[in-house]
Amino acid sequence: MILELKPTVSADKANDLGKRVNGIVVQDGDRFCLVTSSKVKEVSSEFKEFIEQEHVMDTDIQLASRSYKSTTRKIDLGNGKTIGGTTGNTVMIAGPCSVEDVKQIDQTATLLNKLSVGVMRGGCYKPRTSPYSFQGLGIEGLKMLADARTAHGFSIITEVRDATHVADVIEYTDIIQIGAKAMYDHGILKACGAARKPVMIKRGFGTTLQEFVQAAEFVLSGGNSDVILCERGIRTFETKTRFTLDLCGVAFLKEYTNLPIILDPSHAMGYRYGIADLTRACTAMGIDGLIIEVHPIPEVAKSDAAQQLNHAEFTELYHSLGAVAKSVGRTII
Ligand code: PEP
Ligand code: MN
């Protein structure tokens, strides 16, 4: 249950009321809200004088639900770009799987700048399946991304793999990415709840939609209202493609949550040959953003080599998206 308190209720009073209902106190604009378990369906009459509006909830998808906020949250990504709201924008995020060296970052950053792509991606702490694979450049990589931002003026997004370096990622990045394997890490979710930067949470490949959105609830109830969801494919019986992109799940998220939605065709498909078609299909879903892996020479990439597009492939794909976006009332930015 969400109890929206009147704007006149002070922080001290909100904390006191929060304790009495076993609820979390969350500031939302000019007021406080108390969020209890969704099992609570009513509060005693002594609370009524402090309450502006009550939202009874079916499940613990609460702050993220459209029954609490009917319009999609609008989130500032820095450098004049926003995601969500009612703008009808589909934000393109592109860049390599991993930050590998200055030359690689400079080449792709120059391409993205030329195409006016507003957000560059690149992992510096890689959650690899094998301990013998490239694990990322760490803080050195974060500095390379930050230098590219200074040189080219876009925003950057990079992932946090575990709680040991979450502070460094928060310091350097504009948008914090929580990966599919990290989305259950409560140390990360807690740190991101306290951060003042947008957070993009990727759906774990064995995660139900309920669990996915509840991970977002940890960040939202921790005090950070800027959360974006990213569908990147789930594991099914199919093995010919790397994962199965759950577009039905995307329809659910669009219908029932107020969080902007980004789709990641690169990790879902896992192979270069399908990415362009899949990206156009994603765009036709009328979503808030796309995240695509791009590398100057994918064949030598240190991670996810099979799925990264080269510069020519990405450029061709990028130019084909405008018409698809337009057909569903959106613009690629
Ligand atoms: C990535 O974005 O490079 C990545 C590791 O993605 P995921 O967490 O979805 O596997
Ligand atoms: Mn990757």
Q: What are phi and psi of 41, to 5 degrees?
A: -115, -15
Which CATH superfamily is 74-332 part of? Aldolase class I (3.20.20.70)
In whole angstroms, how far apart are CA 217 and each of 235, 242, 288, 326? Answer: 23, 28, 19, 32
Nearest ligand 1 atom to the CA of 177 is 2
Rounded Cα–Cα distance for residues 149 and 169 (Å) = 14
The secondary structure of residue 234, as a DSSP letter, is: B
Rounded Cα–Cα distance for residues 109 and 18 (Å) = 47
Question: pLDDT tens digits, residue range 175-200?
Answer: 999 999 999 999 999 999 999 999 99
210 near 183, Cβ under 8 Å? no
State the average pLDDT over residues 318-328.
98
pLDDT at 70: 97
321 near 314, Cβ under 8 Å? no
Q: Is 179 in the pocket of ligand 1 (CB under 6 A)?
A: yes
Q: ∠ CA 62-332-65 to the nearest 5 degrees?
A: 5
Q: Is 183 in the pocket of ligand 1 (CB under 6 A)?
A: no
Expressed in angstroms and rounded, the spacing between residue 22 Cα and the centre of ligand 2 is 40
Question: pLDDT tens digits, residue range 14-32?
Answer: 999 999 999 999 999 899 9
Q: Are strands 51-55 and 2-5 parallel, antiparallel or unpaired?
A: antiparallel
Under the banding of pLDDT at 50, 70 and 90, the label for residue 79 is confident
Residue whose Cα lies nearest atom 1 of ligand 1: it is 97
What percent of the chain has a predicted confidence (pLDDT) above 90?
A: 97
pLDDT at 6: 97
88 near 330, Cβ under 8 Å? yes
Which of 64, 71, 152 lies closest to 105 in space, CA to CA? 152
Q: Which two tokens stand for residue 153?
A: 């003026």
State the average pLDDT over residues 256-267.
98
pLDDT at 151: 96
Question: pLDDT tens digits, residue range 281-315?
Answer: 999 999 999 999 999 999 999 999 999 999 999 99
Expressed in angstroms and rounded, the spacing between residue 282 Cα and the centre of ligand 2 is 18
pLDDT at 184: 96
Question: pLDDT tens digits, residue range 145-179?
Answer: 999 999 999 999 999 999 899 999 999 999 999 99
Under the banding of pLDDT at 50, 70 and 90, the label for residue 240 is very high
What amino acid is encoded at 171 in this protein?
E
Whether 60 shows a pLDDT value over 90: the answer reads yes
Question: pLDDT tens digits, residue range 122-140?
Answer: 999 998 899 999 999 999 9
Whether 87 shows a pLDDT value over 90: the answer reads no
Q: Are strands 261-263 and 199-202 parallel, antiparallel or unpaired?
A: unpaired
142 near 158, Cβ under 8 Å? yes
pLDDT at 92: 98
Nearest ligand 1 atom to the CA of 98 is 3
Q: Is 123 in the pocket of ligand 1 (CB under 6 A)?
A: yes
